[in-house]
Amino acid sequence: DAMVIQNPRYQVTQFGKPVTLSCSQTLNHNVMYWYQQKSSQAPKLLFHYYDKDFNNEADTPDNFQSRRPNTSFCFLDIRSPGLGDAAMYLCATSNSLFPTRQGYNEQFFGPGTRLTVL
């Protein structure tokens, strides 16, 4: 089945120790998103890619970086995690190119990576 995969599902890191979260998709969608979600809150968009074009949200801290080496993969790098960065990180994809394909302009989410910062 086509899907959005996030690894690892659970990540524990130490305060200030860089960490990378990964996302891959088999949907061949052109847009990929990273969200931060804290308990019982709405997902907060960090950035998104339209193909290789990177779009950062104005309030995303510089501590958060992203890479998209190809259509299928996208990475979230947290350079110096703080206690406040402990959250669920959601990756999502969207097809915005092919209106006749199922799921046009819908978001498909991965299961998330829960980050703990000690």
Total residues at interface with another protein (CB under 8 A): 21
Q: Are 69 and 83 in contact (CB under 8 A)?
A: no
7 near another protein, rule: CB under 8 A: no
Q: Which of the residues 80 through 99 are near another protein (CB under 8 A)?
A: 90, 94, 96
For residue 20, the cross-strand partners are 77
State how far the Cα of 104 lies from the Cα of 13, in Å rounded to an integer: 37
Nearest CB to another protein, comparing residues 73 and 108? 108
Q: Which of the residues 54 through 73 are near another protein (CB under 8 A)?
A: 55
> Any idea what DSSP says for residue 83?
G
Window of 18-26, 42-50, 66-74, 79-87 that interacts with another protein by CB under 8 A: 42-50
50 near another protein, rule: CB under 8 A: yes
Strands (E), the chain: 4-7, 10-13, 19-25, 31-37, 44-50, 53-56, 64-67, 73-78, 87-94, 107-109, 113-117
110 near another protein, rule: CB under 8 A: yes
Binding site for another protein (CB under 8 A): 31, 33, 40-43, 45, 48, 50, 55, 90, 94, 96, 105-112
